[in-house]
Amino acid sequence: MKPPAILILCTGNSCRSHLAEGILRNALGESFRVESAGSKPAGYVHPLAIKVMNEIGIDISAHHSKHLDAFLDARVETVITVCGNADQVCPVFPGQVNRHHWGFDDPAHATGSEEEQLAEFRRVRDEIRRVFEAYAAGRMDALR
One-letter amino acid at 17 equals S
Q: Point out the catalytic residue in the list 80, 90, 128, 136.
A: 90
Q: Of 34, 68, 79, 83, which one is the catalytic site residue?
A: 83
The one catalytic residue among 6, 7, 10, 86: 10
- The DSSP letter of residue 84 is H
Amino acid at 72: L
CB-side neighbour CA atoms (13 Å) of 121? 26
DSSP secondary structure code for residue 73 in this structure: T
Catalytic site includes residue 90: yes
Whole-number Å distance between alpha carbons of 9 and 132: 14
Establish whether 15 is a catalytic residue: no
Whether the Cβ atoms of residue 16 and residue 107 lie closer than 8 Å to each other: yes
Annotated catalytic residues are: 10, 83, 90
